[in-house]
A and B are shown apart, each in its own frame.
Chain A
Amino acid sequence: MTRGIPVRATAVWTLLMAATALTWWLGADHAADLGSGRTWVALAIPVAFLKVYLIGSEFMEVRTAPRALRLVFGAWAVVLTVALTTIYLL
């Protein structure tokens, strides 16, 4: 009896697709109508890195990896999120 893909992975993928749609909406022109368009667009960056972290954690299986790897991977995501959002808003 072969096991299929874990339900968790399918759930994560669905979440990723939804997040992509969200990013699309954030970046699309009508997001700017909500006022302070820059803030909404800036939100797209953390959302992107959240997706990145999900892909790493769930698909790359970093979640079940030794703590050192999880920390480094997470640090990369956090550092870039902060740096890129800051530079964009500057």
Chain B
Amino acid sequence: MSTRVLLLCAWSGPATVIVATIGFLIAGVLPFPLGPNSSVTEVVGFYSDSTRVAAGLVIAGLGVCLVFPLIALIGVYLVRMEGRTPILAFVQLITGAATGVVLLVPLLLMTAISFRPDRSPELTMTLNDISWLLFITPIGPFMIQNIAIGTAILRDQRGLLPRWVGYVNYWVAFLFVPDVLAFFFHSGPFAWRGIFVFWLAFVAYAAFLVVMGFTLRRAILDESKLDASEAVAV
């Protein structure tokens, strides 16, 4: 039972990517998101198909919340790595919790926009700006979380998780850096839907969730093999 719960939490990493992506595809956020230079017509038109957009965003909103079990599981491993003073484990839990919230709230905002498609276009544009900027720019919690995980793994003498995973976390942290540029550009590769902002962050975060999910699953299975009665390969 306990191993099964841990494994489920590991799977919630890839599950976040899958469910959120499905939600985005339904809503129309993927494959071509709105941009800062989208016209009023385009923005209002996007939210006018309100039922579909809202449904998709609700699914995406639930999807991003699947990240919370993974964060908790990472916390379990970091606590074990750190021993007496698991400071990085605590940092990871706090910032991880923040990342979940900071992903969820903008999606709720977008869903709220589609709640009244006949809103004044100016309000729709403003709310859309706020939602997207809120979604893309708060890199702080993410970067600190990644640096905490990477540092904990690399300092771990017992090698509970493979060391390359620590380096991947450092890499992912760097990949988030350009996202703050979204505040400064209305078009181009550094705008909120630009290749170095939206797409890079999307791919980097998805890679992080998948890598953590699968390596934690492997670690859990390897340990539980030693106690055959508990081992359930999920």
Q: Touching in the complex, A and B, CB below 8 A?
A: no
Which A residues contact B (CB, under 8 angstroms)? Answer: none
